[in-house]
Homo-oligomer: A and B are copies of this chain.
Amino acid sequence: LNRIKASGLKLRFCTNETQATREKFVKKLQGMGFDISVAEVTAPAPAACRILKERSLRPHLLVHNDLVPEFAEIDKANPNCVVIGDAAENFTYANLNEAFRVLIGMEKPVLISLGRGRYYKETDGLKLDVGAYMKALEYACDVQAEVVGKPAKTFFESALAEMGVSPQQAIMIGDDIVNDVGGAQRCGMRALQVRTGKYRPCDENHPHVKPDAYVNNLAEAVDMILQQL
């Protein structure tokens, strides 16, 4: 990261994290020694807030308690849409029924989902991700959710707009073949897959997505990018 920043290249961190505010997320990374600030992070919740403001939407929130502060400035009275994130323990029977009732009570239900993940792994085992609950509400209300976050095209476009560069001028580095690499490429960017994190060898035979290159780790990605400047 330091070498990228020293080179003068513009940089954004694109995360699908929806269990914590950017503040909390950044503090965690800073604690690990990374040079990162909140202003450099593109995350689903602030992207959703932009959409809510643009379209005068007042959300009913079904999100993680720690994410609620991201919506502090948003009017939530008399809701006319539902925003769903990875609410974890907040995915109770009562809360799901409540979100459903808000949606089904609208003439034209609007459901905004902070991601479409199927599941993820925590220390105590696999957990259903927001995508599964999104599907439940989609089916019950016969609507299609608007997904904010990777791999949505609008999400990458937000990051590009914040940097003021075109897709052709940008390159994505990520470990997720579909959400990072596929999403960025569909947006017109080039993309590198690192062979770390959630990378799996079978990703290299993915039926639809082929990265512009593979690198063994982030340092190799930086080497490759700086060599081509």
Copies in the complex: 2
In the complex, per-residue mask of A128-149: 1 if CB is within 8 Å of any chain B CB, else 0: 1101110111111110000000
A215 to B127 alpha-carbon distance, docked (Å): 49
A116 to B153 alpha-carbon distance, docked (Å): 32
> Is A166 interfacial (CB 8 A cutoff)?
no
Tell me which residues across on chain B come within 8 A of A137, comparing CB atoms. 132
Tell me which residues across on chain B come within 8 A of A30, comparing CB atoms. none
Tell me which residues across on chain B come within 8 A of A89, comparing CB atoms. 93
A88 to B96 alpha-carbon distance, docked (Å): 11
User: Are A128 and B92 within 8 A (Cβ)?
Assistant: no
User: Are A133 and B131 within 8 A (Cβ)?
Assistant: no
A132 to B101 alpha-carbon distance, docked (Å): 13
> Is A25 interfacial (CB 8 A cutoff)?
no
Closest B residue to A96 using CB positions: B128
User: Are B88 and A100 within 8 A (Cβ)?
Assistant: no
> Is A119 interfacial (CB 8 A cutoff)?
yes
In the complex, per-residue mask of A82-103: 1 if CB is within 8 Å of any chain B CB, else 0: 0000001101110011001100
User: Are A101 and B126 within 8 A (Cβ)?
Assistant: yes
Closest B residue to A125 using CB positions: B101
Assess A96 versus B91: contact at CB under 8 Å? Given A118-B140, A128-B136, A135-B135.
yes
> Is A187 interfacial (CB 8 A cutoff)?
no
Taking A91-B93, A97-B127, A104-B126 as known contacts, 19 extra A-B pairs with beta carbons closer than 8 A to each other, sorted by chain A number, are A89-B93, A91-B96, A92-B92, A97-B125, A97-B126, A100-B119, A100-B126, A100-B128, A101-B125, A118-B140, A118-B141, A119-B140, A129-B140, A131-B140, A132-B136, A132-B137, A132-B140, A135-B135, A136-B136
